[in-house]
Amino acid sequence: MPERVYTRPLLDKLGVAPGARVALVNLDEPWFRELLAERTPDVRIGRAAADSDLIFLGANSQKELARLATLRPKIRPNGAIWVVSRKGKAATIRDLDVIEATLAANLVDNKVVSFSETQTALRAVIRVRDRPTS
């Protein structure tokens, strides 16, 4: 059986819609900033704005994972925080560490994406039952 080739663009996998409000926190990836700029003009670097659609948090330690709790109030009810960390032998935190940190921040993980050759991304969202009703 031949190996399956995936051709879906990274921004589509990450759910970056045109015009989305995005923040990059502790994530210095110039290639990713350039990619985002092609899709949305509303990209903040270093700090997340209130009502962010997506926050990309670079995290390679427990201390950096702890930031999830302070970022949670910054996302829209149907928004997400992507935790971007090293993968493979270079990883300094495990997937289980990320999952435990999302739960501690009252979030739940629901998707994993290969962010780059060296990094993985795990999506954390607010549970539907915890989202405000309007």
All structural domains of the chain with their residue ranges: 12-126
**DSSP letters of 6-57?**
----HHHHTT--TT--EEEES---HHHHHHHHTT-S-EEESSPPTTEEEEEE
Architecture of domain 12-126: 3-Layer(aba) Sandwich (3.40)
Residue that the structure tokens 């015009």 belong to? 19
Asked whether the beta carbons of 118 and 90 are under 8 A apart, the reply is yes
| Four-residue CA torsion sign, 87, 84, 36, 77 | positive
pLDDT in tens, 4-62: 766 889 999 999 999 999 999 999 999 999 999 999 999 999 999 999 999 999 999 99
Tell me the two tokens of residue 18: 């045109």
Asked whether the beta carbons of 114 and 120 are under 8 A apart, the reply is yes
pLDDT in tens, 95-120: 999 999 999 999 999 999 999 999 99
Q: From CA 55, how far away is CA 74, in angstroms rounded?
A: 9
pTM: 0.93
